[in-house]
Structure 1
């Protein structure tokens, strides 16, 4: 996705893309319009009935709320077709964005994929990263991170070695640094891991810190499959994410974009962060930044062509 590629966020239900592509429809047949109105009325009635049943059992309400959101979305979609509209904004019950539910579902799916991965100890964590910054040429480097140093093999053939600070290689986790060997000591229960990641911050700032540090651990650390799964489950419960399917990364791979929306006061730069992920295997393909106020204007990309353990530098 670049500033020249424009996306249209559509409804979160099967067939939404086809609805968008269909464009404007001809004036509806009266019978079709009547059917659409009937579906909307039935959705509203089902919503009312579910609220009445709330006093009977909490479990029933939780299960139904997902179904109600989908039912209302589908009813609205039929109404949109009948009225000749291509795209409608969808909001869940009580004003909850439908995209939030999609983001949670996506992250939980990725957690399941990550949990099934193999856990192989190796002396290096290798990332092959294609980096592009607006106004500059893209370059691809191999990074070999170990407990005490970072070795970078650049695209132009140079080898750069950076020694880790005293105490060895570490990552920011909450308000402290966690070393390579102590990553396995982080909690893998999502609620406990969230408390650790958000330590030292409050409110929306805690969500921003949790997301940023989770991304760094998922791409740049030898986190175990169990920890990776827990990180994705933490993200599933973190607000502020919007999902767009069918987005290309800097290498031309198709993935699902996750856009994080925070206030300007929370951003570390005047750019909004985006991730592109591949749900089929739980892989984070890219982290990029868009110009604040212009989601289609990408200013920087870090595209991960490889991220995994390595036995040696080569």
Structure 2
């Protein structure tokens, strides 16, 4: 990233660069806005995410964002930046082009970025809570590799060659120190703070990561809309969770990606922001004896049903 320093040592080059930077709609209003009250972290995170998305879509190379000088942006992007700038002035956003920082009262740029994952997952929790409640004898999961069913007595079924076969008992769902069957899952708290506490409990032998636990509840379990909402919000409180932005899954469906990094693993989930459905989950071992091993699931549909097949 290029740092612009408007000092006398830069002479006319510095002045010309400054002029180029301010050559976009809304620049005059921004320059004359003066001191404004700092924006909340939540709102700041939203604005930063929008600005970065606008710049990022201008082009990428080898997965690295190609940030263009504002004077080289297309008319459409310049207009968008202008609109965001006007919104910034109206709501109290102050940015410092010279050093890329914000005032102490709003936190650093990196802190605001870290908060965007929590903001997104909080929004998704609202979407999840708005979904209609349903019930059924079985929980059906259809992926790109097949279809499975779980009964209320935790019997596990798979579909092979158009026929349904019972494959024994499914292991209980792990939530921190708890192992829950279908009935126990229905009695689990839906409070996001308590769920976060459970997910952050000290790991047990053979326990899966808290992010993995959360994703399993959101895909492979008959979780109610309230429970799914609580789980999404709890995920936003996990240390190490990061918003990646808009992506496409292996089937071409668009969604928003969130990842969770631990010492030995990396989990990435793609969420449909309109429905809160999990589209895809990828788990990668980044260290240890299983380093490089990847588990990948693309979910076509999940939900209740009263019959097999």
Q: TM-score range by the shorter chain?
A: 0.5 to 0.7
For residue 312 of structure 1, what is the aligned residue in structure 2? Answer: 307
How far 1:213 sits from its partner (Å)? Answer: 0.8
Cα distance in 2 between the residues matched to 1:72 and 1:157: 49
Deviation at 1:119, TM superposition (A): 1.8
Q: After TM superposition, give the deviation of residue 28 of structure 1 in Å.
A: 6.4
**Which residues in structure 2 correspond to 1:32-181 (within 5 Å)?**
32-33=20-21, 46=35, 64-67=40-43, 81-82=69-70, 93-94=107-108, 96-130=110-144, 140-146=145-151, 147-154=153-160, 156-157=161-162, 159-164=164-169, 170-181=172-183
| Cα distance, 1:196 vs structure 2 | 2.3
Tell me how far apart the structure 2 counterparts of residues 196 and 278 of structure 1 sit (CA, whole Å): 25
State the Cα RMSD in Å: 4.1
Contact 2:249 2:255 in 1 (8 A): yes
Identify the residue that residue 261 of structure 1 maps to in structure 2: 261
Query: Higher mean Cα deviation, 99-108 or 111-120?
Result: 99-108
* CA drift at 1:80: 6.1
The answer to which of 76-85 and 273-282 deviates more is 76-85
TM-score normalised per structure 2? 0.65
Aligned to 2:218: 218
Q: Distance in 1 between matches of 2:250 and 2:190?
A: 32
Q: Is contact 1:288–1:298 with CA below 8 Å preserved after alignment?
A: no
Partner of 2:80: none
* Deviation digits for residues 202-246 of structure 1 (CA, Å, limit 9, x no counterpart): 9xxx9x833211111110010111111100111122232332333
Query: Which of 186, 189, 202 in structure 1 is aligned with 2:188?
Result: 186
SS of the aligned residue for 2:190 comes to coil
Could you list the runs of 5+ residues in structure 2 that have no partner in the other structure?
Answer: 1-14, 56-66, 75-96
In structure 2, the partner of 1:199 is 201
CA distance in 2, matches of 1:123, 1:73: 42
**Distance in 2, Cα, partners of 1:257 & 1:187:** 26
* Greater RCO structure (CA 8 Å; 6+ sep): 1
What TM-score, normalized to structure 1?
0.64
State the match for 1:13 in structure 2: none
Does the 8 A contact of 1:190 with 1:233 survive in 2? yes
**Post-superposition offset of 1:182:** 1.5
1:284 counterpart (257, 278, 282): 278
Question: Is this contact kept in 2: 1:39–1:75, CA < 8 A?
Answer: no
Once residues 29 and 197 of structure 1 are traced to their aligned partners in structure 2, the CA distance between those partners, rounded to angstroms, is: 50
Deviates more, 1:281-290 or 1:226-235: 281-290
Task: Please tell me whether Structure 1 or Structure 2 has the larger radius of gyration of its CA atoms.
Answer: 2
Structure-2 change in CA distance of 1:305 and 1:69 (3 Å): closer
Q: Is the 8 A contact 2:45 2:113 kept in 1?
A: no
Classify the secondary structure of the residue corresponding to 2:217.
helix
- Partners of 1:71 and 1:244 in 2: how far apart? 15
Distance, in Å, in 2 between the alignment partners of 1:91 and 1:278 is 32
**Equivalent pair of 2:42/2:116 in contact (CA under 8 Å):** no
Q: SS where residue 20 of structure 2 aligns?
A: helix
Q: CA distance change for structure 1 residues 171 and 308 in 2, over 3 Å: closer, same or farther?
A: same
Contact 1:250 1:301 in 2 (8 A): no
Cα distance 1:230–1:200, how it changes in 2: closer, same or farther (>3 A)? Answer: same
**Contact 1:124-1:145 at 8 Å conserved across structures:** yes
**Greater Cα offset, 173-182 or 242-251:** 242-251
